[in-house]
Amino acid sequence: MTIINQKAYKILENSIKKNSLSHFYIFHGPNNVGKKNLAISFAKLLFCKENTKDCLVSETCINCKKIDDGKHYDLVIMDSKSPVDGVEDNKSDQIKLAHVQEISRIANLGPFMSEYKIFILDGAEKLNNEASNAFLKLLEEPPKSSIFLFLVNDLSSIYPTILSRAQKINILEISEEEMEKYISSNFDIDDSVIQKILQFSLGKIEIAEKLSSDTTLIDGYYESYDRFLEFCTSDISERMNFAQKFSTRFRTDRNAIFNELNLWIDFCKISLNNFYEDKNSQLFDTDLFDMFDTEEINNFVLELIKTISNLRSNANPRLVFDVMGLNLPVFQKEKLNGI
Ligand SMILES: [Zn+2]
């Protein structure tokens, strides 16, 4: 079983019970907070013969079995990477007109084995202008029995005209207590490792699940943290070398760089959380607070967010990383040796 946001689930459950289903939902909330889990539970709730998200997938419930296997005809999950005719080389990472045309085509066929056809569009903020307009048209005369479900981090990146037609459901992060209970009852992991997972996942259940299923992934977090420290303690000329390396890597693997920068933001957040909650976390041998104060760490977060947003709007990567290197606070290594 998977843990899902109970409050949001209740809203959906009631809308089915009260027969007031919307044909368009937007689930919004931070990355990895469980939007997709919730969307799949919603599909089960609608398709399951037993009408429960916790159906035991007995021989009699073909619907839940097919959903679990990722093969249900009436559940279509798409993102910018989904292969559709007309999008061969999708380097821009946008959701394009061809994706929406494919959705429209399948929607018009109607459901095969259920009352509804559900379309989950993961990362719907990546809809480009053309695709957004096509989707609006689709919403104006939605094919009967279709339910569209957008999963987005940030509502502000969706067309207001699209937003106004959706039922919006906010998915919040879950508490550390809930998460701890979930991990310890579902995975066989040492308590010290669970404590690390709790800190690294920052309330995001999808991250916690990923790290709990494969604890060797935690090493990758520590490696990224080491690179971050190296960056923090580098002087301006060393940072220009970093910028060179980062921009080269960015050209071949954008996502690796986005992942790295997002991890660095998370490390700052972890440090700030521990500081404000007065926790002695011992997650890292060298804490950011050994080098920087709260204002500087907050500046790190802002500057990293700015870097990501500039990269997403296709600014010259070398320039973006040069600016990042210049704007981020510099720490004198000599000070660290004195600790
Ligand atoms: Zn079922």
Dump pLDDT digits (tens) for 275-292. 877 777 788 888 888 888
Task: Find all residues with CB under 8 Å of 20, minimum gap 6, and list them.
Answer: none
pTM, 2 dp: 0.68
**Residue 159 sits in the same domain as residue 41:** yes
Rounded to whole angstroms, the Cα distance separating 61 from 309 reads 45
pLDDT beyond 60 at 338: no
For ion ligand 1, residues whose CB falls within 5 Å = 48, 50, 55, 61, 64
Are 10 and 147 part of one and the same domain?
yes
C-beta separation of 269 from 202 below 8 A = yes
Of the residues 170, 204, 232, which one is the last residue of a structural domain?
A: 170
In a domain, 272, yes or no: yes
pLDDT mean over 300-307: 91
Q: Are residues 127 and 258 in the same domain?
A: no
Q: What is the total count of domains within the chain?
A: 2
Degrees (nearest 5) of the Cα angle 118, 124, 129?
120
Domain that holds residue 246: 216-337
Cα of 291 vs centre of ligand 1, distance in Å, is: 53
The Å distance, Cα 181 to ligand 1 centre, comes to 25
pLDDT at 156: 84
What is the CA(63)–ligand 1 centre distance, in A? 6
Give residue 34 CA to ligand 1 midpoint distance, Å.
20
CA atoms within 13 A on the CB side of 7: 8
The residue ranking higher by pLDDT, 79 or 56, is 79
Give pLDDT tens digits for 116-130: 999 999 999 999 999
Q: How many CB atoms lie within 10 A of CB 302?
A: 13
Task: State the distance from the centre of ligand 1 to the C-alpha of 136, rounded, in angstroms.
Answer: 33
User: 3 falls in which pLDDT band (50, 70, 90)?
Assistant: low
Q: Is residue 175 part of a domain?
A: no
Q: Which two tokens stand for residue 120?
A: 């989950």
Classify residue 71: in a domain, yes or no.
Answer: yes
> Ligand 1 centre and the CA of 11: distance in Å?
20
In this prediction, what percent of the chain has a pLDDT beyond 90? Answer: 48
- State the distance from the centre of ligand 1 to the C-alpha of 133, rounded, in angstroms: 36
Q: Are residues 95 and 152 in the same domain?
A: yes
Mean pLDDT of the chain: 88
Spacing, Cα 115 to ligand 1 middle (Å): 14
Classify residue 178: in a domain, yes or no.
no
Is 211 inside any structural domain? no
pLDDT value at residue 56: 62
Ligand 1 centroid to residue 298 C-alpha, Å: 47
Q: Which residue has the higher pLDDT, 331 or 181?
A: 181
Name the domain boundary from 144, 170, 196. Answer: 170
User: What is the per-residue pLDDT for 1?
Assistant: 46
**pLDDT for residue 317 is more than 60:** yes
Spacing, Cα 311 to ligand 1 middle (Å): 43
Output the pLDDT for position 87: 79
The pLDDT of 243-265, averaged and rounded, is 94
* Final residue of a structural domain among 133, 153, 170: 170
Residues 166 and 232 in one domain: no
pLDDT exceeds 80 at position 104: yes
